[in-house]
Amino acid sequence: MESYMGSSLCIVCRDRLPKSREPAPLPLCHTCQHLRSQQTLLALRDKIHKVEHRHRDLEDVCRSCAGLSFGEEVKCDSRDCPVFYSRVKGRTMVGVVKSGVGKVLEGFEKEVAARELLEW
């Protein structure tokens, strides 16, 4: 729903963003965007890493159960297994986080790089 309405909270520190008629290009507060840019980059990358790591761990459980080696695709679709639903949910979360946080991270990295070029 936030993708349609825009975010009213900073994606990093969860502070309220200032209200304006036009949505901010990046859902980041002034502090996170300008004063703590390196910490913000780290926090955004960490959010993506945590979701990917959790999904990878669940796939490892499924590989172990199915007797698959590392790197083989997990094709298990056992509806009786609770790990199956967690794995499917994890795969969906990876996509959601990469499309949301990933786009913010990409835009913010470009902004920080441009800012650093101007400082030279």
pLDDT in tens, the chain (120 residues): 444 455 788 999 999 988 876 767 889 999 999 889 899 999 999 999 999 999 999 999 998 988 888 888 888 888 898 899 999 999 999 999 999 999 999 999 998 888 877 665
Q: What is the model's pLDDT at position 56?
A: 93
Give pLDDT, residue 120.
53
- Cα torsion for 62, 68, 72, 73, to the nearest 10°? -40
Predicted pLDDT at 6 = 59
Of 56, 36, 60, 59, nearest to 48 by C-alpha is 56
- The DSSP secondary-structure symbol of 25 reads S
> How is residue 80 written in tokens?
């009786």
For the purposes of burial, counting CB atoms within 10 Å of the CB of 55, is it exposed (0-12), middle (13-18) or buried (19 or more)? Answer: buried
Whether pTM exceeds 0.75? yes
Instruction: Please answer whether residues 27 and 101 qualify as being in contact, where contact means their C-beta atoms are separated by less than 8 angstroms.
Output: no
pLDDT of residue 5: 52
Closest CA relative to residue 114, chosen from 15, 25, 21: 25
pLDDT at 114: 85
∠ Cα 66 72 73 (to 5°): 80
Number of domains in the chain: 1
Provide the domain limits for residue 41.
2-119
What whole-number distance in Å separates Cα of residue 120 and Cα of residue 118?
A: 5
CB of 74 closer than 8 Å to CB of 66: yes
